Amino acid sequence: MDLNQIETRPTVQDIYKIIGQERIMEYYLNVPIVMGRRYVNPLRADSNPGCFFKWLPSGNLYFVDYATEQVYYTCIDVAMLVTGYKYPDVLYKIESDFQLTNLNLSDKARLKAETKETVIPEMIPATIKVKLTRFTAEDLAYWKQFGVSPSILRFYDVRRVDKAWINDDLWYVNNNDDPCYRYKEKDKFKLYRPLVRKKQLKFRTNFFGGILEGYTQLPHRGQLLIITKGLKDVMTLHGLGYNAVAVRGETTPISENAYELLKNRFDQLVLWFDPDQAGITGARKMSEKYNIPFFQYDGAYGKDPSDIYRDHGPEKVLELCKQLKNL
């Protein structure tokens, strides 16, 4: 059986019905939509507020920028520009960011949606089941390059997957050329396939809301806490003696409750996200909301702590971590 055929790609129509074009546009542009208002384009160097939003008779919402060649941008176009994902892979990214994989519409609710009646779908986490197996020597070598030892893997309860089912559909079968690892936070899972060829298959999760990866492993009290974007980076930093947690996604901010808990346990919080458009946008948004300083790293040595460790060694990561204390 071709496992790729098990995947059911969300359609643009489903995404528009369940989320709404305005929500998607506001989420990725990080600006409120006010019809008739003029905006600068946050996706390019722009000081002239000449852009605006416009609904066309086709029923599509557009971000209009006459200073660019394309001029008219749908919310899907905007999501592609911000995330770097191409079509149709961007649909999986939107699905993940808004947790559409966890939205189950009943037949009745879907019928109402199709007849343009107002429907508020219920958030139901996807069911993920896994059969685990032992790490191979190749697995341990893979993690070692990021400074992640077997003891760190045990501490964070990262395991090798033999088989995985999502909503009772077989999604993964053990393959040494395409290993799959299970992350766990409380009773929720994330599946990580670092070597898979199709980018949209790299992660599957039933994490939801403001779940922070690595939260249960944090000490009760500490000085510096680094908020980053993935458990692999959390484990790399832990191996170097730094406390860290990871948000579910760089565009998914932590909840106010989580922020208060972290603030009361650690003397200093800092953000270290990827130096790309999504990371910079997410860091600025969270920094503005909670007044948390963010590391304006230029990506000269790699995009994140784990890659920097792999390519330049632990000394370079430690050198950068020292800069965090002065933010």
Interval 136-169: pLDDT, tens:
999 999 999 999 999 999 999 999 999 999 878 8
Q: Give the pTM.
A: 0.64
Alpha carbon distance 245, 237 (integer Å): 10
**28 CB neighbour count, 10 Å cutoff:** 27
What mean pLDDT is predicted for residues 267-272?
A: 95
CB 10 within 8 A of CB 94: yes
* pLDDT value, residue 125: 59
Strands 266-271 and 222-228: parallel
User: Residue 59 pLDDT more than 90?
Assistant: no
User: Residue 289 pLDDT more than 50?
Assistant: yes
* pLDDT value, residue 257: 81
Angle subtended at Cα 306 by Cα 305 and Cα 308, rounded to the nearest 5 degrees:
65
Residue 112 pLDDT class (50, 70, 90 cuts): very low
User: Residue 8 pLDDT more than 70?
Assistant: no
Higher local confidence (pLDDT), 203 or 150: 150
CB 253 within 8 A of CB 278: no
What mean pLDDT is predicted for residues 25-30?
A: 92
* pLDDT value, residue 210: 67
3-class DSSP state for residue 92? helix
Beta bridge partners of 207: none
Beta bridge partners of 131: 163
Higher local confidence (pLDDT), 102 or 46: 46
Q: Is 261 exposed, middle or buried (0-12, 13-18, 19+ CB in 10 A)?
A: middle
* pLDDT value, residue 156: 95
Higher local confidence (pLDDT), 298 or 140: 140
* pLDDT value, residue 117: 40
Closest C-alpha to 284, from 96, 23, 42, 24: 42
CB 98 within 8 A of CB 104: no
Tell me the CATH class for 215-324: alpha beta
**132 CB neighbour count, 10 Å cutoff:** 13
Element of type H or E holding 278: helix 277-290
Tell me the residue type at 217: Q
Tell me the residue type at 126: A
Closest C-alpha to 206, from 124, 284, 151, 84: 124
Token pair 């059911």 in the structure block, residue: 8
What mean pLDDT is predicted for residues 278-297?
A: 88
* pLDDT value, residue 208: 67
Residue 73 pLDDT class (50, 70, 90 cuts): very high
Give the CA distances from residue 112 to residues 21, 58, 101, 106, 116, in Å, rounded to whole numbers and listed in that order. Answer: 18, 21, 20, 10, 6
- Percent of the chain past pLDDT 70, that is, above it, reads 86
User: Residue 49 pLDDT more than 80?
Assistant: yes
DSSP E strands in 87-220: the ranges are 128-133, 159-166, 169-173, 181-185, 188-192, 203-205
- Percent of the chain past pLDDT 90, that is, above it, reads 49
Higher local confidence (pLDDT), 69 or 138: 138
Higher local confidence (pLDDT), 210 or 215: 215
User: Residue 4 pLDDT more than 90?
Assistant: no
Three-state SS for 95-127 is HHHCCHHHECCCHHHHHHHHCCCCCCCCECCCC
* pLDDT value, residue 255: 80
Residue 69 pLDDT class (50, 70, 90 cuts): low
